[in-house]
């Protein structure tokens, strides 16, 4: 367990650590607008993931410091500011709740990596690979509980309702993904249900609670929730495409993970449905029966390219991006609104 960053060291790396999926340019514009908030949020994260049981902050630091882009807490902070949450020294509810959102996200990452038996996360050894599955499950539980303690400290039952529902929806989405895994009869609608649950529900909640802390009326809550939901779906669609096109160095994760696990994503569904009998047999052998040889990933990528499945996936993502941006139009034009629209655009552009 050597080389693990201490919580104090993380404080330094957190702020600049936005290197993963979404284009840095679009994110830096948004980060620039809420920079002080994000720094405060990182301090809350470090302070609240502490525990007398030293392994907890050690393991949490490993994943929290591993170069995550803080996209979800950023959305909470930016949404609160978009809704006019006051910029005063004693107004920090949005900061605490942004930390909450990151804790819930981190907990699901820890459990995901156990479930997926992942060895890499953002290009580094995953927590389960370093600390073992047991510790990852339990520290995930701790962070989840800690998130709820933070919400209770905040004191809003509305926020608690939104985030506890999101947490249940995430778990439902993950279980549904497990059920559809290795099943090529999965429909696109069912795939989108998985994506909405496992990814987009937390994006939606992260945005919505920004409106709640700012005390905005329901139409603005709904608008931000819709923005987050559509953005989250687009984000996951692009992620699923990246698993069949990006190389490991730029993506920061092992390419072909989804393929090796037999996850049924849109690129696979498109290529499978458009394929001839021989190609269908290939997919049945590789992602349903999980009988794979070394050359199969290359062949999968070829078939996906031949049938334009990446393009189809991106077009779908682009439609969700447009919906996301449209939802924000209830708010007057502002630098924050423009930055949120840019983040949505770059979600897709990171692949083009």
- Reduced to 3 states (helix: H, G, I; strand: E, B; else coil), residue 121 is strand
Sign (positive or negative) of CA dihedral 323, 324, 325, 331: positive
Q: Which is nearer to its own copies, 110 or 321 (CB)?
A: 110
- Report d(CA 252, CA 105) in Å as an integer: 18
Task: Give the range of 91-99, 141-149, 252-260, 296-304 binding its own copies by CB under 8 A.
Answer: 141-149
The maximal CA–CA distance of the chain, rounded, in angstroms, is 65
* Size of interface with its own copies, in residues (CB under 8 A): 41
Selected from 1, 8, 91, 179, the binder of its own copies by CB under 8 A is 179
Residue of the chain from 2, 3, 52, 89 that contacts its own copies (CB under 8 A): 52
Nearest to 203 by CA among 79, 314, 290, 120: 79
For 326, residues 6+ apart whose C-beta sits below 8 A from its C-beta are none
Q: What is the pattern of x (binds its own copies, CB under 8 A) and - over residues 258-277?
A: --------------------
Q: Report the nearest approach of its own copies to the CB of residue 320 (Å).
A: 22
Taking CB under 8 A as the criterion, the residue among 1, 47, 161, 290 binding its own copies is 161
Residue from the set 121, 146, 260, 307 that interacts with its own copies by CB under 8 A: 146
Burial of 36 (0-12, 13-18, 19+ CB in 10 A): exposed
Smallest distance from its own copies to CB 72, Å: 16
**Quick one: which of 8, 12, 47, 178 contacts its own copies (CB under 8 A)?**
178
User: Does 108 contact its own copies by CB under 8 A?
Assistant: yes
Quick check: 137 binds its own copies (CB under 8 A)? yes
CB of 313 to its own copies, least distance (A): 24
Pair 139, 109: CB distance under 8 Å: no
- Calculate the alpha carbon distances from 91 to 24, 97, 254 in Å: 28, 12, 41
Binding of residue 148 to its own copies (CB under 8 A):
yes
Query: Closest Cα partner for 180 from 165, 164, 192?
Result: 192
* Residue listed under structure tokens 């698993």: 243
Selection from 259, 121, 114, 254 nearest residue 184 by Cα: 259
Annotate each residue in 7-36 with x if it binds its own copies (CB under 8 A) or - if it does not, as one string. Answer: ------------------------------
Among 28, 43, 120, 144, binds its own copies (CB under 8 A): 144
d(CA 13, CA 25): 18
Query: Which residue has tokens 């605490």?
Result: 96
213/241 with CB nearer its own copies: 213
Per CB under 8 A, does 53 bind its own copies?
yes
- The crossing angle, in degrees rounded to 10, of helices 35-48 and 7-16 is 150
- Quote the least distance from Cβ 286 to its own copies, whole Å: 20
Residues that bind its own copies (CB under 8 A): 51-53, 55-56, 107-108, 111, 114-115, 133-135, 137-139, 141-142, 144-146, 148-149, 151-152, 155, 157, 160-161, 164-165, 167-168, 170-172, 174-176, 178-179
């Amino acid at each position: 367990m050597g080389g693990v960053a201490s919580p104090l060291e993380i404080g330094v790396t957190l702020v600049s650590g936005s290197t993963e999926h979404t284009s840095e340019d679009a994110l830096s514009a948004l980060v620039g607008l809420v920079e002080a908030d994000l720094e405060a949020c990182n301090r809350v994260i470090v302070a609240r993931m502490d525990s007398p049981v030293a392994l907890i902050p050690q393991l949490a630091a490993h994943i929290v410091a591993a170069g995550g882009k803080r996209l979800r807490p950023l959305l909470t902070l930016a949404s609160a500011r978009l809704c006019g949450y006051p910029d005063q020294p004693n107004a920090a509810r949005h900061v605490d709740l942004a930390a909450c959102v990151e804790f819930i996200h981190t907990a699901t990452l820890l459990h995901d990596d156990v479930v997926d038996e992942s060895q890499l996360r953002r290009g580094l050894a995953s927590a389960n690979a370093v600390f073992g599955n047991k510790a990852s499950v339990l520290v995930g539980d701790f962070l989840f509980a800690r998130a709820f303690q933070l919400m209770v400290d905040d004191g809003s039952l509305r926020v608690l309702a939104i985030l506890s529902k999101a947490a249940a929806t995430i778990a439902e989405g993950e279980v549904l993904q497990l059920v559809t895994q290795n099943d090529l009869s999965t429909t696109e609608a069912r795939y989108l249900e998985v994506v909405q649950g496992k990814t987009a529900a937390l994006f939606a909640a992260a945005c919505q609670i920004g409106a709640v802390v700012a005390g905005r009326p329901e139409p603005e809550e709904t608008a931000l929730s819709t923005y987050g939901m559509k953005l989250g779906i687009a984000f996951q669609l692009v992620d699923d495409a990246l698993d069949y096109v990006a190389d490991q160095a730029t993506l920061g994760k092992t390419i072909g993970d989804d393929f090796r696990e037999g996850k049924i994503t849109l690129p696979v569904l498109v290529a499978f449905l458009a394929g001839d009998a021989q190609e269908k047999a290939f997919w049945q052998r590789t992602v349903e029966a999980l009988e794979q040889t070394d050359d199969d990933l290359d062949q999968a990528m070829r078939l996906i390219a031949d049938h334009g499945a990446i393009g189809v996936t991106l077009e779908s993502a682009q439609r969700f991006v447009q919906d996301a941006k449209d939802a924000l139009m209830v708010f007057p034009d502002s630098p924050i609104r423009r930055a949120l629209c840019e983040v949505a655009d770059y979600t897709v552009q990171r692949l083009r």
